[in-house]
Amino acid sequence: MSAGLAEYDLNMRPLLDLSLEALAAELATWGEPAYRARQIAEWVFRHGATDFEAMTPLPPALRARLAETFTIAPLPVIANRAADDGATTKALLDLGPTPDGRTGDAVETVRMDYDPDDDGEADRTTVCVSTQVGCAMGCRFCATGQQGFTRNLSPSEIIAQVLHFSRERRVTNLVFMGMGEPLANYASTVAAIRWLTRPEGLDLRQRGITVSTVGLVHGIDRLSREGLQIGLTISLHAPDDELRRQLIPTSAGTTIDELVEAARLYIERCGRRVTFAYALLDRVNDEPEQARALARRIRGIQAHVNLIPYNPTAGPDLRRPSRERVRAFLHELQAAGINATVRIERGVEIAAACGQLRTDVQRASMMAVDL
């Protein structure tokens, strides 16, 4: 799938699958002092090193042993697309062969640059990362959900997506809203967050990070106890349980009331506002009475509703609502006292919706084989 496949060595261990503490412990068995782990992290995250030979403050013998044991090589790029005059960039990254010999796994990541004029804040660069290859949640309106689930990503594969862009410019914000369900890959997601927020890592602000979930109540509860100050977005997409089960088939065991209660507890424990994501689908979940029903369900907690006009994917039975219908839905929520906004759209012309670039590249590959 990529010319970079030949460069992979399955005998090498991804260094960033280890925590800083685990790396220091392993180096200690080599007779190395603890500060060596911090030096290595600084070169990976601050200097953008992609091989150990670049880490000149380290003794040559240590650099050689690290190169024999670990890898910090970047993920090869299969495809790149840019939009919004270069302010939005999407990359499809090659994950290489798996230990069982499977090839062809790839993952998407997106960088979005925002000027101060957009929202009155300072310049910021947000990276949207994926946590799985494909997704098992099966949401009808999601391109990734239509691909099915292949596997979880490791911490190093999640971090590699951020480093892909941080080598080009400073990353200020991070959203776990790409391919996959972050809380279904809980350990890798949290391990990546801890590397990216610690001073020896990328030193990102915890409040600049948001994890999005389709609504795994146990995972939300567990995340609320991690002692992190990260944001949480819960995908709701319907004001009633029956419609939500139709849109998200895997949500059958969870009610909206349970999700609202999980959000309330997250707010209480973390002191952070929770966002409810609501994909607007024409004539499906965008009626004014549905907006009023939604307002009744979530009223009384410190929450925000992020309305997302449907970004067309491969599903032919769903349509994007008109601007008038979007405004009417927003007005009903605001009239009911709900803090709500319509998401600023970025990258529509480059298939920025999760999973679309991977799908396009796979189709192109199959066409090439057929020819």
Give the residue numbers annotated as catalytic, written as ranges. Answer: 108, 354
Q: At what angle do helices 323-335 and 288-298 cross, to 10 degrees?
A: 40
Share in percent of the chain as helix, strand, coil (round to 5):
40, 20, 40
Bridge partners of 149? 134
| C-beta separation of 338 from 305 below 8 A | yes
SS3 126: strand
Question: How is residue 140 annotated by DSSP?
Answer: T
Closest CA to 282 of 245, 340, 328, 314: 328
Region for 280 from its dihedrals, namely left if φ exceeds 0, alpha if ψ lies in -120 to 50, beta otherwise: beta
Strands (E), 158-302: 173-176, 209-213, 231-235, 274-280
DSSP codes of every residue in 11-71: TSEEGGGS-HHHHHHHHHHTT--THHHHHHHHHHHTS--SSGGG-TTS-HHHHHHHHHHEE
d(CA 172, CA 202): 10
SS3 209: strand
Question: How is residue 342 annotated by DSSP?
Answer: E
d(CA 312, CA 302): 31
- What does the block give as tokens for 177? 């809203």
Q: Kindly report each contact of residues 336-339 with a partner whose C-beta sits within 8 Å and lies 24 or more positions away, as own/partner.
A: 336/291, 336/292, 336/295, 336/296, 336/299, 337/295, 337/299, 338/294, 338/295, 338/298, 338/299, 338/303, 338/305, 339/303, 339/304, 339/305
